[in-house]
Amino acid sequence: MNDHTTLHLSKFFDTTPDFWFGIQMEYALKEEKSTNAKEITTRVMNQVIIAPRLFLRQTGDRL
């Protein structure tokens, strides 16, 4: 949804453009989450668990 559309919708329905942007953002986030949930989880787990362990291994520190 672009600026032009949100301005028209907000005028027609007597709301604010932020209301329509909020709806669009919620929709986009739900779509992204449902489409890429497994990939997102894998990336986060790699950053949170694997990357620090590799760093510690490289520096010789222990957990």
**Across the chain, what does the average pLDDT equal?**
85
- Helices 17-45 and 3-13 cross at an angle (nearest 10°) of 130
**What is the model's pLDDT at position 7?**
94
Buried b vs exposed e over 27-41: b needs ≥16 C-beta within 10 Å?
eeeeeeeeeeeeeee
User: Which position has the higher pLDDT, 57 or 24?
Assistant: 24
Q: How far apart are CA 3 and CA 7, in angstroms?
A: 6
Question: Mind listing the pLDDT tens digit for each residue in 41-60?
Answer: 888 887 777 767 766 677 76
